[in-house]
Chain A
């Protein structure tokens, strides 16, 4: 009877070490998917090299890629994201691991009076780490917290990647347009230089004027070369984001750019949304909880590094078996865990302060991004409404003055260059608008990135 009791006392807890939690991370993936969809309206794809996704990718690449296409391909094929989704499996496995107890220890010792006959004394014992059993709920909670953290970090990564894709696409497109402007500037400078050469040949201009025109022309060649590099780099950045290489990199970007629509964000509202939706703050909260849990475990393991319990048996020389419980326990005399507790306390306090700092950063960032976005809309719009038309009118009026033989072709080409540079600046403001918009959307969707 007593033996049955000890057996049950030992076996039952062990049974709790068996785990019925699945290793499949699909539920976590679904949670992440829903979270991203709710925050951004975009779907994610854990493709796992599924041929169907490759087919989908190829069909996108057959036609010139729009802004939306780029984002879709990135979500479909970005390998950093695909790598991140694997972390869901890792986290899930860690949750399963947390459910499992450490295996019991079996000890056996044999002592022989002489080696010819069998062992005279046999000692056997089977012990289990009881602390492991006691800490199991905490460990499970910790693993779950960490899994939640991973899910939120992945959601944040997706949001960040969407923003990066948007900014990279806009940067690539505006760079292409700016490169076109630079090439037009080169044409204008070349025309000026050519005109100066012809007039110099006719004996009408000084060498000084000629070299001044040549200098302007040669300088713009460097500009063009620089922007060719910028465009090429921007294209490579897009390839990286879209996970494309080899023959898949021969895509074309669509000719038209997304339109700038009027925005007027309320700063208070944006601040509120950014705080409410912040994944960074949630992750930080989880980190605080995880840290607290971790320190609980660490404190227990510091105070009681060993806590084993289990049956022990001994057979004496006279073949009598003696059975009984065995316990091995550290005695908290020197280390009562105070240092660990204090460390944990301050660590949690540090994280709490970081939380507050993060919240303040998010508030300020939200207001700053919303304000800048409002301003950049105004700035770009003003280029469209005023500065570009004025620059075009200036060129038109200059041509009338040329026709009236009041000014010459060099002043006319200078006006044209100014018109081109105004349009070029407009593209910079266009890019700034979309960059600000992408950053604000990223923040409101939940991902804060320190600038």
Chain B
């Protein structure tokens, strides 16, 4: 009798242990896959799961200018996130608020941050008026988690929540975005970035400053508020983390910092060559992974970020100052530029404005010497619009906006210090030429060269 009871007790206890063990591995995408040759990308980590990563211990968290990071819960060894796709109103810059579709209230959505080997469960709630999905751009995960509506899963109907679960098999700089009616929904703002860090305990091997910037474009005609997602060429709002200059939040670095800037590009149609002033950098990563160590790469001052790709640049902050970095497509650094505006360069306006003002009081010709007129005109413009809105620095208007930002490098930065404009050391700013100095150097200060075309009278 005692033996029987003991036997039943052992069996009962073994059953509990075994059941618990089974529960840990009930989700197929979190469980070890069937053995195969070659093995599934996540097979090793599924067999030998790593403990969940911890910020600062396993990686230095990224900073997201103008943005946020998605908080998570830890449940049974899984990082649990919740994304909500919903219509919102989004301020692109002071003066322009648009209707957007966004994750968790911002365009782009919050950055998801994790490390290689982390097991994640992401709930996606659809509060849109249309079905949607989320694609984890660049991840090597089970196909059913890939998020392509109709191909790998049914679309998430409005009002419902779906669950995605997978193990992060690689470290890279990824993106996430809708994959249902992408032209419309990505165009409306359903985009974001995911950072999967390499686990690195040695702080010296981690960057000192790690920034994430997602590039995006919209077509929002002046005096409208909803992106025209059918537009394929007339994009006039080009953003970094959902903002345009002058409202992009500057990046900061201290002399000696190893700086990484991770760019993602989920624009509809345009690649963006991002040029950083004052520095040469190396491209060290993409949404496919990292450049193998000890690989020699060409130093660059401009990184081309193709549509649907990410690029990570790395440089040592050794040159103090306020350094602009911007898309080098010149139309992409203008806010709400009108493409139907006629070419006014060089027009002789003497007497012309008076003629037009007789019929239309308040008219003023602009653009005869470029776009700078707009920045100082003070003329009434349609509400909720920011045409030609530009950044004004300490020396005046830059006539520059759109996809641009500033990297402020200082000799010393206190934690959480608000960094103002750079104090240029005396004698280090280009100055108006002293004629005597020029004469000393044998320079003739004629205004025009022999081949110059005399500009027409500007009135």
Q: Chain A: residues with CB nearer than 8 A to chain B?
A: 184, 187-188, 190-191, 194-195, 198-199, 201-205, 395, 397, 399-413, 416
CB neighbours of A407 from chain B (8 A): 338, 340-341
Whether A416 touches B355, Cβ cut-off 8 Å, given contacts A202-B346, A202-B456, A401-B222, is: no
Query: Could you write out 17 A-B pairs with CB less than 8 Å apart?
Result: A184-B359, A195-B347, A198-B348, A203-B346, A204-B344, A204-B345, A397-B223, A399-B380, A400-B380, A403-B366, A404-B338, A404-B374, A405-B371, A405-B388, A406-B387, A411-B340, A412-B363
A406 touches B360 (CB 8 A): no
- Look across to chain B and name the residue whose beta carbon is closest to the beta carbon of A406: B338
CA distance A402 to B348 in the complex (A): 18
A198 touches B349 (CB 8 A): yes
- Look across to chain B and name the residue whose beta carbon is closest to the beta carbon of A204: B343
CB neighbours of B70 from chain A (8 A): none
Is B352 an interface residue, CB under 8 A from the partner?
yes
CB neighbours of B223 from chain A (8 A): 397, 400-401, 404
Candidates B221, B340, B355; contact of A191 at CB < 8 Å: B355
A403 touches B349 (CB 8 A): no
Residue with the greatest number of chain B CB neighbours at <10 A, chosen from A187, A198, A399: A198
CB distance from A131 to the nearest CB of B (A): 82
A416 touches B360 (CB 8 A): yes
- Look across to chain A and name the residue whose beta carbon is closest to the beta carbon of B387: A404
CA distance A403 to B345 in the complex (A): 16
CB distance from B384 to the nearest CB of A (A): 11
CA distance A410 to B363 in the complex (A): 12
CA distance A409 to B358 in the complex (A): 14
Q: Chain B: residues with CB nearer than 8 A to chain A?
A: 221-223, 336-338, 340-349, 352, 355-356, 358-360, 362-367, 371, 374, 377, 379-382, 385, 387-388, 456
Given A191-B359, A204-B343, A400-B223; 17 other pairs, CB 8 A cutoff = A184-B359, A191-B352, A194-B352, A397-B223, A399-B362, A399-B380, A400-B380, A400-B382, A401-B382, A403-B366, A403-B381, A404-B222, A404-B374, A405-B367, A405-B387, A406-B338, A408-B344
CA distance A240 to B209 in the complex (A): 93
A413 touches B344 (CB 8 A): no
CB distance from A224 to the nearest CB of B (A): 15
CB neighbours of B345 from chain A (8 A): 202, 204
B347 touches A187 (CB 8 A): no
CA distance A293 to B221 in the complex (A): 85
CA distance A403 to B358 in the complex (A): 17
B346 touches A406 (CB 8 A): no
CB neighbours of A401 from chain B (8 A): 222-223, 338, 382
Residue with the greatest number of chain A CB neighbours at <10 A, chosen from B222, B349, B371, B377: B222
A404 touches B456 (CB 8 A): no
CA distance A413 to B363 in the complex (A): 11
A201 touches B348 (CB 8 A): yes
CB neighbours of A416 from chain B (8 A): 359-360
B387 touches A191 (CB 8 A): no
A404 touches B342 (CB 8 A): no
B359 touches A408 (CB 8 A): no
B347 touches A202 (CB 8 A): yes
Main secondary structure of the interface of B (DSSP, over half): loop
Candidates A202, A404, A411; contact of B348 at CB < 8 Å: A202
B359 touches A195 (CB 8 A): no
B342 touches A205 (CB 8 A): yes
CA distance A404 to B374 in the complex (A): 7
CB neighbours of A409 from chain B (8 A): 342, 356, 363, 365
CB distance from A184 to the nearest CB of B (A): 7
Candidates A194, A202, A406, A413; contact of B222 at CB < 8 Å: A406
CB neighbours of B355 from chain A (8 A): 187, 190-191, 194
CB distance from A15 to the nearest CB of B (A): 85
CA distance A195 to B385 in the complex (A): 27
CA distance A269 to B268 in the complex (A): 69
CB distance from A182 to the nearest CB of B (A): 13
Candidates A191, A199, A201, A203; contact of B356 at CB < 8 Å: A191
A405 touches B347 (CB 8 A): no
CB neighbours of B358 from chain A (8 A): 187
CB distance from B142 to the nearest CB of A (A): 48
CB neighbours of A199 from chain B (8 A): 342-344, 347
A406 touches B221 (CB 8 A): yes
CB neighbours of B362 from chain A (8 A): 399
Residue with the greatest number of chain A CB neighbours at <10 A, chosen from B222, B347, B355, B380: B347
B343 touches A405 (CB 8 A): no
A413 touches B359 (CB 8 A): yes
CB neighbours of B364 from chain A (8 A): 403
B352 touches A198 (CB 8 A): yes
CB neighbours of B387 from chain A (8 A): 404-406
CB neighbours of A405 from chain B (8 A): 337-338, 341, 366-367, 371, 374, 387-388
CB distance from A196 to the nearest CB of B (A): 10
CB distance from A159 to the nearest CB of B (A): 44
- Look across to chain A and name the residue whose beta carbon is closest to the beta carbon of B455: A202
CB distance from A187 to the nearest CB of B (A): 6
A408 touches B356 (CB 8 A): no
CA distance A204 to B367 in the complex (A): 12
- Look across to chain A and name the residue whose beta carbon is closest to the beta carbon of B337: A405
Residue with the greatest number of chain A CB neighbours at <10 A, chosen from B344, B359, B371: B359
CA distance A397 to B223 in the complex (A): 10
CA distance A205 to B342 in the complex (A): 9
CB distance from B337 to the nearest CB of A (A): 7
CB neighbours of A188 from chain B (8 A): 359
CA distance A411 to B338 in the complex (A): 13
CA distance A229 to B390 in the complex (A): 55
CA distance A203 to B344 in the complex (A): 10
CA distance A114 to B355 in the complex (A): 112
B352 touches A402 (CB 8 A): no
Residue with the greatest number of chain B CB neighbours at <10 A, chosen from A191, A198, A205, A404: A404
CB distance from A423 to the nearest CB of B (A): 12
B356 touches A413 (CB 8 A): yes
CB neighbours of A397 from chain B (8 A): 223, 382
Residue with the greatest number of chain B CB neighbours at <10 A, chosen from A202, A395, A397, A412: A202
CA distance A199 to B342 in the complex (A): 9
Residue with the greatest number of chain A CB neighbours at <10 A, chosen from B338, B342, B355, B380: B342
A408 touches B340 (CB 8 A): yes
Give me the 6 closest cross-chain CB pairs, A-B, nearest first: A406-B338, A202-B346, A404-B387, A403-B379, A408-B342, A204-B343
CA distance A416 to B362 in the complex (A): 13
A204 touches B346 (CB 8 A): yes
- Look across to chain A and name the residue whose beta carbon is closest to the beta carbon of B367: A405
CB neighbours of B342 from chain A (8 A): 199, 204-205, 408-410
CB distance from B377 to the nearest CB of A (A): 7
CA distance A397 to B367 in the complex (A): 19
CA distance A228 to B245 in the complex (A): 56
Whether A404 touches B385, Cβ cut-off 8 Å, given contacts A198-B352, A399-B362, A409-B365, is: yes
CB neighbours of B221 from chain A (8 A): 406
CB distance from A393 to the nearest CB of B (A): 12
CA distance A399 to B382 in the complex (A): 9
CA distance A431 to B282 in the complex (A): 78
CB neighbours of A204 from chain B (8 A): 342-347
- Look across to chain A and name the residue whose beta carbon is closest to the beta carbon of B357: A191
- Look across to chain B and name the residue whose beta carbon is closest to the beta carbon of A395: B360
CA distance A409 to B352 in the complex (A): 11
CA distance A413 to B382 in the complex (A): 18
CB distance from A410 to the nearest CB of B (A): 7
CB distance from A123 to the nearest CB of B (A): 100
CB neighbours of B366 from chain A (8 A): 402-403, 405
CA distance A410 to B379 in the complex (A): 19
Whether A403 touches B359, Cβ cut-off 8 Å, given contacts A203-B346, A204-B342, is: no
